[in-house]
């Protein structure tokens, strides 16, 4: 393929992928299968690698992230991002509407919208391309989170239609409930603290330094406020409709996420409808927003010191129900953590039947002064899991007594411990406590760990009950004859398990390290440790200082890693896994060296011989580190064609060595 044909094909593929992205994520009308979409994306990626000079900045292949942000720059807002006045009172909404009618000339129209429970964002587009995304901050300035926002698939990188050449669109970035639940499930498997609610998680995710992690968390958005000069649009409702045609995911009337009304009755109908229906939404809302539609009337009504007069937010009261606490049970996690669970008299809350609520730890029980038999108040609010928020002591039976947290493990009767500085109690019997042993095995075989085909929690239970496995190492001693004897196990299924175990011996070291289930060593930390120390033996003998010198490894993780290897049973387990043939060292790629160890690089621009990703891979395989932004700590800038002049100027002013592509190649000659 020649250069002309390649450029045409890249443009054609980019346009087609952008179209399917919009249909899937914004219109919710997929036109092709996921498989066919992935083939298109792979074809574009291959072409961009072969012809890097035609890989443009807003290619759909950039959605996966990967850039690292050291610090989020503070940026002033061109148009202030003021907060709205809010109320929980319908009477105050009526008073607000009456007041506006007295202040305005002519009839008023109102736009009613959902109040999305997420992170406010302002995104600037220039010449149809996303140029900058800034958080609300204090209303006058916020943080530049452009790199992370570009990974959100419902936010277009390039617009279509008759868009203005320079404008800003505002809205809310949020985490869908399904994504939130999936993320917490993964964190639970990695023995990481669970996130409290989708809103805080979305906020924290948007401020993460690694945009690849942001991309994996499936944030979503609704954008609904268009700002700019000479937009030639008369009203808010009309501007939202226009923005949808430009390619944005906007609220639409057909699902009642937005409505234009002309009376207080219309406003109240919208409020009452969503007060009942909000629990059916796939994301969190905490109220509705009402705005005067016409821009000229908005301008005439003006602002108070803190908020616009022409808009107000009505916030829903958090739904709370009262029910009886029948008993408390205790769950034992993979790491021995004991979680108390309240068993409740069944009650309807948020459209679902609630029978259980988490009590988190002994401090929470003490704080609530719980007695079994109490009538308790239960809320969901911003939480996915119901929680007890109070006790109706007026209904307390005098014969009941305070709940004392258990002192022994409910599964193996071992005396519980509570480590200094931690709120949870633990069962220290990690060798013979059944839930811990089975939990470790289930974590080990998981998709992001060893991903052993054919094995699941039910099969683990059967193997454990038969006495065939007690530890993860026992899996590799299993035979076909042993497995096929299990209940409801056919020959084909047994063969799949044995084949899956054999295939897992090729799983790379970083995933094996994660699969071991060392406390606080999640997927990302395992990658950092494996990359830094290269072998399990090096990690085993690493000092505390050596561990905390690894990027993103803090005191807590370092102590946990050292404690793991101080346990002789764990060391013996690893010896068995090594003998079984698992990977416990990183296999260096051919030609790898430590030539660039300790050096940091910024790679920018378009290159002739190599793609940008290939240059970055060479840097990492020779011990160097890729960073996304230039600072005084940067050692080299590898500058290709079309590198931004601002970056070059900054690198020069800091005295950083700037290498052309040929000069970079010379480093290895």
Beta bridge partners of 602: 637
Backbone angles phi, psi at 578, to 5 degrees: -65, -45
Tokens 């993320």 found at: 183
Tokens 């953590």 found at: 337
- 428 CB-contact burial (10 Å; exposed 0-12 / middle 13-18 / buried 19+): middle
Backbone angles phi, psi at 169, to 5 degrees: -120, 140
Q: Dump the DSSP string for 170-203.
A: EEEEE--HHHHHHHHHHHHHTT-PPPS-HHHHHH
Q: Which of 12, 19, 70, 115 is catalytic?
A: 115
Beta bridge partners of 312: 290
**Tokens matching residue 253:** 């009337």
Tokens 């799949």 found at: 496
Tokens 């007695």 found at: 371
Note the helical H segments in 62-156. Answer: 90-103, 146-149
| Cβ(48)–Cβ(61) below 8 Å | yes
Beta bridge partners of 626: 601
| Cβ(154)–Cβ(221) below 8 Å | yes
Nearest to 553 by CA among 541, 565, 542, 568: 542
Beta bridge partners of 289: 113, 313
| Cβ(452)–Cβ(580) below 8 Å | no
Pairing of strands 110-116, 258-261: antiparallel
Q: Which residues of 520-544 are buried (b: 16+ CB within 10 A; e: fewer)?
A: bbbbebbbbbbebbeebeebbebee
| Cβ(252)–Cβ(146) below 8 Å | no
Kindly provide the residue ranges of all beta strands, DSSP E only, lying in 265-391, ordered along the sequence: 285-292, 311-315, 320-332, 338-349, 352-358, 375-379, 387-391
Per the annotation, the verdict on 115 as an active-site residue is: yes
Half-sphere exposure of 163 (CA within 13 A, CB side): 25
How many CB atoms neighbour CB 174 within 10 A? 24
Q: Which residues of 38-72 are buried (b: 16+ CB within 10 A; e: fewer)?
A: eebbeebbebbeebbbbbbeebbbbbebbbbbeeb
Give catalytic residue positions. Answer: 115
């Amino acid at each position: 393929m020649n250069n002309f044909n390649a450029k045409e094909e890249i443009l054609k593929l980019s346009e087609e992928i952008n179209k399917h992205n919009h249909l899937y994520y914004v219109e919710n009308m997929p036109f092709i299968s996921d498989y066919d979409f992935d083939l298109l994306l792979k074809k574009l990626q291959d072409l961009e690698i072969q012809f890097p000079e035609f890989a443009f900045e807003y290619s759909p292949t950039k959605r996966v992230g990967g850039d690292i942000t050291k610090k989020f720059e503070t940026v002033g807002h061109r148009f202030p991002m003021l907060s709205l006045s809010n109320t929980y009172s319908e009477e105050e909404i009526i008073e607000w509407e009456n007041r506006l009618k007295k202040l305005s000339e002519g009839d008023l129209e109102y736009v009613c919208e959902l109040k999305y429970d997420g992170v406010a964002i302002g995104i600037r587009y220039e010449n149809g391309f996303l140029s900058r995304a800034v958080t609300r901050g204090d209303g006058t300035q916020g943080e530049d989170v452009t790199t992370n926002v570009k990974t959100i698939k419902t936010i277009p990188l390039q617009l279509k239609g008759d868009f203005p050449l320079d404008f800003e669109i505002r809205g809310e970035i949020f985490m869908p409930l399904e994504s939130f639940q999936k993320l917490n499930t993964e964190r639970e498997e990695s023995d990481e603290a669970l996130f409290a609610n989708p809103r805080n998680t979305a906020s924290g995710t948007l401020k993460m330094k690694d945009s690849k992690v942001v991309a994996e968390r499936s944030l979503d958005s609704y954008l609904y406020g268009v700002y700019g000069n000479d937009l030639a649009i008369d009203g808010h409702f009309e501007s939202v409709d226009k923005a949808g045609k430009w390619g944005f995911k906007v609220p639409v009337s057909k699902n009642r996420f937005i409505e234009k009304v002309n009376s207080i009755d219309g406003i109240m109908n919208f409020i009452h409808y969503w007060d009942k229906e909000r629990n059916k939404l796939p994301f969190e809302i905490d109220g509705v927003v009402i705005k005067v539609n016409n821009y000229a009337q908005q301008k005439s009504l003006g602002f108070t010191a803190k908020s616009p007069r022409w808009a107000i937010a009505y916030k829903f009261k958090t739904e709370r129900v009262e029910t009886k606490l029948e008993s408390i049970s205790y769950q034992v996690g993979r790491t021995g953590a004991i979680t108390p669970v309240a068993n409740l008299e069944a009650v309807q809350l948020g459209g679902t039947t609630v029978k259980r609520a988490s009590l988190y730890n002994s401090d929470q029980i003490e704080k609530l002064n719980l007695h079994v038999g109490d009538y308790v108040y239960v809320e969901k609010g911003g939480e996915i899991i119901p929680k007890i928020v109070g006790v109706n002591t007026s209904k307390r039976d005098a014969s009941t007594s305070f709940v004392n947290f258990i002192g022994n493990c409910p599964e193996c009767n071992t005396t519980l411990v509570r480590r200094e500085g931690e709120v949870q109690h633990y069962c220290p019997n990690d060798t013979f406590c059944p839930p811990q042993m089975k939990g470790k095995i289930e974590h080990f075989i998981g998709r992001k760990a060893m991903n052993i085909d054919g094995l699941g929690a039910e099969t683990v239970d059967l193997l454990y009950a038969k006495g065939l496995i007690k530890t993860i190492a026992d899996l590799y001693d299993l035979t076909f004859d042993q497995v096929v004897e299990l209940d409801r196990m056919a020959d084909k299924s047994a063969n799949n398990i044995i084949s899956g175990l054999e295939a897992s011996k090729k799983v790379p070291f970083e995933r094996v390290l994660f699969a071991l289930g060392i406390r606080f060593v999640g997927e990302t930390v395992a990658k950092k440790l494996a990359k830094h120390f290269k072998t399990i033996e090096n990690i085993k003998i690493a000092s505390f200082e050596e561990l905390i010198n690894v990027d993103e490894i803090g005191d807590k993780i370092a102590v946990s890693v050292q404690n793991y290897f101080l346990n002789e049973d764990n060391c013996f387990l690893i010896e068995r896994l090594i003998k079984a043939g698992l990977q416990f060292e990183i296999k260096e790629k051919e030609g790898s060296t430590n030539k660039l160890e300790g050096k940091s690089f910024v790679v920018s621009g378009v290159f002739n011989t190599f793609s940008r990703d290939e240059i970055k891979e060479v840097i990492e395989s020779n011990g160097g580190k890729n960073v996304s932004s230039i600072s005084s700590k940067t050692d080299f800038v590898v500058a290709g064609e079309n590198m931004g002049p601002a970056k070059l100027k900054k690198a020069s002013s800091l005295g950083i060595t700037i290498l052309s592509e040929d000069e970079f190649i010379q480093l290895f000659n």
